[in-house]
Amino acid sequence: MQVRVKKPLTVDEYAKQGMEMLKYYESGPWPSHVTELKKTKYPIEAYAAGLAAGKTMWAAGSAKIRYVYTGFIARRTRDGKISELHFRVWQPSGYLYSTEKLRKLMDFADKYGLGLLEIAGQQGLMIISIRPEVADEAVDYLRNVVGTDIGATGDTIRELAACVGPALCEFALYDTLEARDRFMTHPKIYEWMSNQLFPFKFKAKFSGCPFDCTRAVHRADFGFIGVWVGAPEVDQELLRKKIEAGEVDPARLAANCPSGAITWDPEKKELKIDGTRCKKSMHCIRAAYPAIKPGKERKIAVVVGGHVKGRFGGKMGKPLAVVNSVEEAMDWVVKTVESWTEYMEKGVVKHKDRIGDFIMKVGFKKYVTEILGLKEEKKPTLHPSLRAGAVLDDEERTMWANWASKLVEEYFGRRP
């Protein structure tokens, strides 16, 4: 099947039309990315041309920085006109900054870059656009002046996300920030992060409580989620005060507990929570904090093999173990990564197989018992593969277009 070429896919061909289209995005009540881009040296005509052509103008570029094998992404437009370079910059755990440190990062972006940031890239790392000709010098400035470095691109250790944890949240059941610091500086992880030796990316996420603000169950090869054992802790005295003040309704607390673990004794004015049934939904804690708090005995639930971008569709994390500290799981992390790469040499794992794909290929039971040497205790829940996309013929596309146009009429009125 041949592609019909209409106009050559170049920036010059489409930029003018695209710049007109971009004006639309400078109005409207929400802050505009176009307005922001125009305040910088970003080559906005490449973006504009892409929008007008209905095709991205970018292709993989190349850049070399001495002794740096991860952390920068080079792009050039398909016509070779414009090149671009991004630095992924390691951020402190929790992304909480003093303004002094943030100013240093801004100075860096102005001195070596286009004055443009992606303040939280898809992994949470700040991404800063750099002028390719000063990239080498920029690395030194980042290391010696700002006190951080570039990293987390390609088939290696990627960003390790931690929730804000003990720095600003009372729900943190373990120190997610320190855990992330220690994970990053673990000798093996630290050694791996400078090179690209894996079949694909590796991500770990640290959530301090079952709210899972880092979304570890969906998007982490290794997710560490703070939990407690048994029932939440109830301060009956304080709870009675809250009930008298009308802040908490005990009947509703009991009715809305997803675990069905709460009973309210109106005689004794006591709330009982059955720890053997509690699923850690945090419902009562959210409603009655601090009268109801997470239990005192704290653990970390480890889930493995979750990802969005994998060969056989997205997967959710599988239950590995409940441990007392992230350190206890470090051996499993190292063993998993080592066998994942070893299986690539054997030809079982292919390039672009995430750890979830690897576990799928060897089987969860074998992975847990033979590779990690654990007793398999937990069965993962199956779910349909997480994926998007469809191959449709014209008739079906027309059907969906008509279906959507009915809704367009409902919200925008009839097209004149």
27 vs 369, which CB is nearer to another protein?
Answer: 27
Binder among 117, 239, 326, 368 for another protein (CB under 8 A) = 117
- Tell me the one-letter amino acid at 326: V
Residue 58 near residue 78 (C-beta atoms within 8 A): yes
163 vs 243, which CB is nearer to another protein?
Answer: 163
47 touches another protein by CB under 8 A: yes
Q: How far is the CB of 267 from another protein (least distance, A)?
A: 28
Nearest partner of 263 among 295, 286, 231, judged by Cα? 231
Residue 243 near residue 214 (C-beta atoms within 8 A): no
267 vs 393, which CB is nearer to another protein?
Answer: 393
229 touches another protein by CB under 8 A: yes
> Binding pattern to another protein, positions 313-352, x when CB under 8 A?
xx-xxxx--x---------------------------xxx
Strand 126-130 relative to strand 157-162: parallel, antiparallel, unpaired? unpaired
331 vs 409, which CB is nearer to another protein?
Answer: 409
> Binding pattern to another protein, positions 349-368, x when CB under 8 A?
-xxx----------------
32 touches another protein by CB under 8 A: yes
Q: How far is the CB of 266 from another protein (least distance, A)?
A: 24
Q: How far is the CB of 236 from another protein (least distance, A)?
A: 18
Residue 302 CA, chain-centre distance (Å), reads 17
Terminal CA-to-CA distance of the chain, rounded, Å? Answer: 38
Q: How far is the CB of 271 from another protein (least distance, A)?
A: 19
For the CA atoms of 348, 353, 357, 358, the dihedral, rounded to the nearest 10 degrees, stands at 40
399 touches another protein by CB under 8 A: yes
Give the three-state DSSP class for 370: helix
Residue 138 near residue 167 (C-beta atoms within 8 A): no
- Tell me the one-letter amino acid at 69: Y
Give the three-state DSSP class for 173: coil
Q: Which of these segments, 211-219, 243-251, 325-333, 366-374, binds another protein (CB under 8 A)?
A: 211-219
> Binding pattern to another protein, positions 156-195, x when CB under 8 A?
-----x-xx-xxxxx-x--x-xx-xx--xx----x--xxx
Binder among 16, 269, 296, 309 for another protein (CB under 8 A) = 309
78 vs 266, which CB is nearer to another protein?
Answer: 78
Alpha helices in 172-305 (DSSP H): 176-185, 187-192, 216-219, 236-244, 250-256, 283-288
Sheet holding 83-89, edge to edge: 58-60, 72-77, 83-89, 126-130
416 touches another protein by CB under 8 A: no
What does the block give as tokens for 394?
């014209």
Give the three-state DSSP class for 374: coil
- Tell me the one-letter amino acid at 376: E
255 touches another protein by CB under 8 A: no
Binder among 186, 242, 311, 354 for another protein (CB under 8 A) = 311
Sign of CA dihedral 170, 285, 226, 381: negative
Residue 202 near residue 157 (C-beta atoms within 8 A): yes
Close Cβ partners of 327 (under 8 Å, ≥ 6 residues apart): 182
Q: How far is the CB of 346 from another protein (least distance, A)?
A: 15
Sign of CA dihedral 26, 31, 34, 35: positive
Which of positions 377-396 make contact with another protein (CB under 8 A)? 378-384, 386-392, 396
Q: How far is the CB of 370 from another protein (least distance, A)?
A: 21
What does the block give as tokens for 392?
């449709």
Binder among 10, 115, 323, 362 for another protein (CB under 8 A) = 115
DSSP state, 348? S
Give the three-state DSSP class for 372: coil
Q: Which of these segments, 36-44, 241-249, 328-336, 365-373, binds another protein (CB under 8 A)?
A: 36-44
283 vs 337, which CB is nearer to another protein?
Answer: 283
Which of positions 64-103 make contact with another protein (CB under 8 A)? 66-68, 73, 75, 78, 84, 86, 90-103
Binder among 239, 262, 288, 301 for another protein (CB under 8 A) = 301
260 touches another protein by CB under 8 A: no
Q: How far is the CB of 331 from another protein (least distance, A)?
A: 20
2 touches another protein by CB under 8 A: yes
